[in-house]
Protein backbone atom coordinates (compact mmCIF):
# COMPACT_ATOMS: atom_id res chain seq x y z
CA UNK A 1 0.00 0.00 0.00
CA UNK A 2 1.32 3.44 -0.97
CA UNK A 3 2.54 5.76 1.75
CA UNK A 4 0.23 8.65 2.68
CA UNK A 5 3.29 10.97 2.80
CA UNK A 6 4.51 10.27 -0.74
CA UNK A 7 4.59 13.46 -2.79
CA UNK A 8 2.11 13.60 -5.66
CA UNK A 9 3.28 14.13 -9.22
CA UNK A 10 1.88 17.02 -11.28
CA UNK A 11 -0.52 14.68 -13.09
CA UNK A 12 -1.66 13.05 -9.85
CA UNK A 13 -2.28 16.44 -8.28
CA UNK A 14 -4.15 17.57 -11.39
CA UNK A 15 -6.22 14.36 -11.22
CA UNK A 16 -7.27 15.20 -7.63
CA UNK A 17 -8.37 18.70 -8.61
CA UNK A 18 -10.21 17.45 -11.68
CA UNK A 19 -11.85 14.65 -9.66
CA UNK A 20 -13.44 17.21 -7.31
CA UNK A 21 -14.28 19.60 -10.18
CA UNK A 22 -15.84 16.77 -12.25
CA UNK A 23 -18.23 15.90 -9.42
CA UNK A 24 -16.13 12.87 -8.40
CA UNK A 25 -16.01 11.20 -11.80
CA UNK A 26 -12.69 9.34 -11.87
CA UNK A 27 -12.81 8.57 -15.60
CA UNK A 28 -13.35 12.20 -16.65
CA UNK A 29 -10.73 13.38 -14.15
CA UNK A 30 -8.12 10.96 -15.51
CA UNK A 31 -8.89 11.89 -19.14
CA UNK A 32 -8.30 15.59 -18.38
CA UNK A 33 -5.30 15.14 -16.08
CA UNK A 34 -3.33 12.73 -18.26
CA UNK A 35 -4.53 13.77 -21.72
CA UNK A 36 -5.47 10.24 -22.78
CA UNK A 37 -8.34 9.39 -25.14
CA UNK A 38 -9.13 5.79 -24.17
CA UNK A 39 -12.04 5.88 -21.70
CA UNK A 40 -11.61 2.23 -20.70
CA UNK A 41 -7.98 2.84 -19.77
CA UNK A 42 -8.96 6.08 -17.98
CA UNK A 43 -11.65 4.27 -15.95
CA UNK A 44 -9.30 1.54 -14.72
CA UNK A 45 -6.40 3.91 -14.08
CA UNK A 46 -8.62 6.42 -12.29
CA UNK A 47 -10.04 3.70 -10.08
CA UNK A 48 -6.50 2.52 -9.28
CA UNK A 49 -5.44 6.04 -8.25
CA UNK A 50 -8.42 6.37 -5.92
CA UNK A 51 -7.19 3.37 -3.90
CA UNK A 52 -3.99 5.18 -2.94
CA UNK A 53 -3.94 6.77 0.52
CA UNK A 54 -2.11 9.95 -0.51
CA UNK A 55 -4.61 10.49 -3.34
CA UNK A 56 -7.54 9.95 -0.95
CA UNK A 57 -6.10 12.40 1.56
CA UNK A 58 -5.58 15.09 -1.07
CA UNK A 59 -9.13 14.67 -2.38
CA UNK A 60 -10.52 14.94 1.16
CA UNK A 61 -8.50 18.13 1.69
CA UNK A 62 -9.74 19.66 -1.58
CA UNK A 63 -13.33 18.65 -0.87
CA UNK A 64 -13.32 20.29 2.57
CA UNK A 65 -11.79 23.45 1.09
CA UNK A 66 -14.43 23.51 -1.66
CA UNK A 67 -17.29 23.14 0.85
CA UNK A 68 -15.97 26.12 2.84
CA UNK A 69 -15.55 28.35 -0.19
CA UNK A 70 -18.95 27.69 -1.80
CA UNK A 71 -20.96 29.17 1.07
CA UNK A 72 -22.91 31.94 -0.72
CA UNK A 73 -22.23 34.92 1.55
CA UNK A 74 -21.78 38.44 0.18
CA UNK A 75 -18.16 38.54 1.36
CA UNK A 76 -17.34 35.25 -0.38
CA UNK A 77 -18.94 36.38 -3.63
CA UNK A 78 -16.97 39.66 -3.64
CA UNK A 79 -13.76 37.82 -2.73
CA UNK A 80 -14.19 35.34 -5.59
CA UNK A 81 -14.99 38.14 -8.03
CA UNK A 82 -11.83 39.98 -6.95
CA UNK A 83 -9.72 36.84 -7.55
CA UNK A 84 -11.12 36.53 -11.09
CA UNK A 85 -10.95 40.26 -11.81
CA UNK A 86 -7.32 40.79 -10.79
CA UNK A 87 -5.77 37.66 -12.33
CA UNK A 88 -2.44 38.07 -14.14
CA UNK A 89 -0.44 35.80 -16.39
CA UNK A 90 2.41 35.41 -13.90
CA UNK A 91 -0.07 33.99 -11.36
CA UNK A 92 -0.09 30.78 -13.41
CA UNK A 93 3.17 30.51 -15.32
CA UNK A 94 6.72 31.79 -15.60
CA UNK A 95 8.28 32.91 -18.87
CA UNK A 96 12.08 33.11 -19.26
CA UNK A 97 12.02 34.57 -22.76
CA UNK A 98 11.95 31.21 -24.52
CA UNK A 99 9.96 28.70 -22.46
CA UNK A 100 6.75 28.83 -20.46
CA UNK A 101 6.58 26.78 -17.25
CA UNK A 102 3.22 26.38 -15.52
CA UNK A 103 3.25 26.74 -11.75
CA UNK A 104 1.97 23.98 -9.48
CA UNK A 105 -1.53 24.29 -7.99
CA UNK A 106 0.04 24.87 -4.57
CA UNK A 107 1.96 27.87 -5.95
CA UNK A 108 -1.14 29.22 -7.69
CA UNK A 109 -3.09 29.06 -4.44
CA UNK A 110 -6.54 30.66 -4.59
CA UNK A 111 -5.84 31.75 -8.18
CA UNK A 112 -6.77 28.24 -9.32
CA UNK A 113 -10.37 29.52 -9.18
CA UNK A 114 -9.57 31.53 -12.34
CA UNK A 115 -9.01 28.37 -14.38
CA UNK A 116 -12.07 27.50 -16.45
CA UNK A 117 -10.64 24.58 -18.39
CA UNK A 118 -7.41 22.61 -18.71
CA UNK A 119 -6.57 20.69 -21.85
CA UNK A 120 -3.66 18.26 -21.75
CA UNK A 121 -2.20 16.66 -24.88
CA UNK A 122 0.44 13.93 -24.77
CA UNK A 123 2.49 12.62 -27.69
CA UNK A 124 5.73 10.69 -28.21
CA UNK A 125 8.33 12.33 -30.44
CA UNK A 126 11.08 10.29 -32.16
CA UNK A 127 14.54 11.38 -31.00
CA UNK A 128 18.09 10.13 -30.59
CA UNK A 129 19.82 9.72 -27.23
CA UNK A 130 23.48 10.43 -26.40
CA UNK A 131 24.54 6.97 -27.59
CA UNK A 132 22.94 7.49 -30.98
CA UNK A 133 20.05 5.12 -30.29
CA UNK A 134 16.62 6.03 -31.59
CA UNK A 135 14.00 6.42 -28.89
CA UNK A 136 10.70 8.12 -28.15
CA UNK A 137 10.53 11.20 -25.97
CA UNK A 138 7.31 11.95 -24.12
CA UNK A 139 6.04 15.47 -24.83
CA UNK A 140 3.12 16.96 -22.93
CA UNK A 141 1.35 20.20 -23.75
CA UNK A 142 -0.97 21.95 -21.30
CA UNK A 143 -3.48 24.58 -22.39
CA UNK A 144 -5.37 26.66 -19.83
CA UNK A 145 -8.55 28.62 -20.49
CA UNK A 146 -9.36 31.29 -17.91
CA UNK A 147 -12.63 32.75 -16.68
CA UNK A 148 -13.66 36.15 -18.05
CA UNK A 149 -11.53 38.87 -16.41
CA UNK A 150 -13.39 41.82 -17.97
CA UNK A 151 -16.81 40.51 -16.95
CA UNK A 152 -15.57 39.94 -13.40
CA UNK A 153 -14.21 43.50 -13.24
CA UNK A 154 -17.57 44.88 -14.36
CA UNK A 155 -19.50 42.84 -11.79
CA UNK A 156 -17.08 43.81 -9.05
CA UNK A 157 -17.35 47.47 -10.03
CA UNK A 158 -21.14 47.30 -9.85
CA UNK A 159 -21.08 45.77 -6.37
CA UNK A 160 -19.04 48.79 -5.24
CA UNK A 161 -21.18 51.26 -7.28
CA UNK A 162 -18.25 52.54 -9.31
CA UNK A 163 -20.02 53.06 -12.63
CA UNK A 164 -22.16 55.78 -14.25
CA UNK A 165 -25.51 54.01 -13.95
CA UNK A 166 -25.40 54.77 -10.22
CA UNK A 167 -25.17 58.51 -10.95
CA UNK A 168 -27.97 58.32 -13.49
CA UNK A 169 -30.25 56.56 -11.06
CA UNK A 170 -29.31 58.99 -8.30
CA UNK A 171 -29.99 61.96 -10.63
CA UNK A 172 -33.41 60.56 -11.49
CA UNK A 173 -34.20 60.14 -7.82
CA UNK A 174 -32.99 63.67 -7.08
CA UNK A 175 -35.10 65.10 -9.89
CA UNK A 176 -38.15 63.28 -8.60
CA UNK A 177 -37.42 64.44 -5.07
CA UNK A 178 -36.87 68.06 -6.24
CA UNK A 179 -40.14 67.99 -8.17
CA UNK A 180 -42.03 66.80 -5.11
CA UNK A 181 -40.34 69.44 -2.94
CA UNK A 182 -41.16 72.22 -5.40
CA UNK A 183 -44.79 71.13 -5.56
CA UNK A 184 -45.09 71.12 -1.77
CA UNK A 185 -43.41 74.54 -1.55
CA UNK A 186 -45.80 75.95 -4.18
CA UNK A 187 -48.83 74.63 -2.27
CA UNK A 188 -47.57 76.23 0.94
CA UNK A 189 -47.13 79.59 -0.83
CA UNK A 190 -50.68 79.42 -2.15
CA UNK A 191 -52.01 78.65 1.32
CA UNK A 192 -50.12 81.61 2.80
CA UNK A 193 -51.43 83.92 0.08
CA UNK A 194 -55.03 82.87 0.86
CA UNK A 195 -54.52 83.59 4.56
CA UNK A 196 -53.05 87.02 3.75
CA UNK A 197 -56.05 87.85 1.55
CA UNK A 198 -58.46 86.85 4.33
CA UNK A 199 -56.57 89.02 6.84
CA UNK A 200 -56.58 91.95 4.43
CA UNK A 201 -60.32 91.58 3.88
CA UNK A 202 -61.05 91.64 7.61
CA UNK A 203 -58.89 94.75 8.16
CA UNK A 204 -60.77 96.61 5.38
CA UNK A 205 -64.07 95.78 7.02
3-state secondary structure 71-89: CCCHHHHHHHHHHHHCCCH
What is residue 203's predicted lDDT score, i.e. its pLDDT?
A: 45
What is residue 54's predicted lDDT score, i.e. its pLDDT?
A: 94
Report which of 49, 28, 34, 42 is spatially closest to residue 140, judged by C-alpha positions: 34
What is residue 15's predicted lDDT score, i.e. its pLDDT?
A: 94
What is residue 184's predicted lDDT score, i.e. its pLDDT?
A: 63
Q: Could you read off the pLDDT of 1-51 as tens digits, one per residue?
A: 455 567 899 999 999 999 998 889 999 999 999 999 899 999 999 999 999
Rounded to two decimals, the pTM is: 0.40
Amino acid sequence: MASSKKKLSKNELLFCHEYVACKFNATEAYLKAYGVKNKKHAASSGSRLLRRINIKNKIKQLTKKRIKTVEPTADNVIKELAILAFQKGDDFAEFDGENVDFKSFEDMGEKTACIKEIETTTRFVPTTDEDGKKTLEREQKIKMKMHDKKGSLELLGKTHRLFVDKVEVTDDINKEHDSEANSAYSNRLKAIEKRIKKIDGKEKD
